[in-house]
Structures are given as structure tokens and as C-alpha cells.
Amino acid sequence: MLNDPLANMMSLMLNNEAIGKQECLIKPVSKLIKDILKIMQENGYVGDFKEVEDGRGNYLRLNLIGGINKCGVIKPRYSVKGNGFEKFERRYLPAKDIGILFVSTPRGIISHYDAKSKKTGGRLLAYCY
């Protein structure tokens, strides 16, 4: 049984990229996973993805482009104020302006760059670089 679908998706993508696959199937599908994949796609970490209906909860077919070096979830999900992202950037990302943190805000799931520009805080979900 899956306890954390987001962590399972991140490790599945990382493992498939490490062995050189061009595509991976992500199951189960949730709105959270789709939102994070959209942000990753906008930032050039993954290719396009499509939801396939199979009558058993559906799955996502994701094209990998080899842009991920490391990704993972952040547990516990720390609360961050609008100006407090720098501490977590140093902790989870390799260098300044490399990689993104995914933040759940009242405005939806966004990257930490957007959260900084909108001066909004939230809870940290995951990282990718």
C-alpha cells in the first residue's frame, strides 16, 4: 500500500532517469502530482505527460528528457514565510539559482521563485534539481 504517492512518483522518475528510460508510468494520479509535474515541465525537468484512463484509477504516461539530477519530498512539511526560503534553498538545493522547491500556498502549488515574487508563504512539499 502506498503511504506517500508524491514520494513514490519522485523516486520512480529518478530511478527511470538513472537507468536511461525515456518514459515512465505514474500511478496513482492526483491533482497534487499533476500540478508538480506541470511546474517541472515549465522549468524543463521533464517532457510532456498524458493521463491514460484504464478503468482502475488511471495513470500518467510521462516523457523523461534527462533533466533531473536529484529530486525528493521534504518531510516534515515545513512552514515557510514569504521571506524565509533562503534557509531551505541552502539545505535542499546544490547552489544558488539551481533547482526548485515546490510550495503549497493559498494560491495553489507553485515554485519557490513564484512564491518569493508574490511574497507569499506556505508549506514545502518537494525539491528538484
* Model confidence pLDDT, tens digit, residues 94-117: 998 999 999 999 999 999 999 999
The percentage of residues in the chain with a pLDDT greater than 90, rounded to a whole number, is 91
Sorted by where each begins, the domain ranges of the chain are 5-64, 74-128
Q: Residues 83, 84, 88, 90: is their CA dihedral positive or negative?
A: positive
Nearest to 129 by CA among 85, 80, 90, 94: 94
Spell out, as residue ranges, where the chain has pLDDT lower than 50. Answer: none
Class of domain 74-128: alpha beta
Domains 5-64 and 74-128 share a fold: no
Question: Is CATH 3.30.1370.30 the classification given to domain 5-64?
Answer: yes
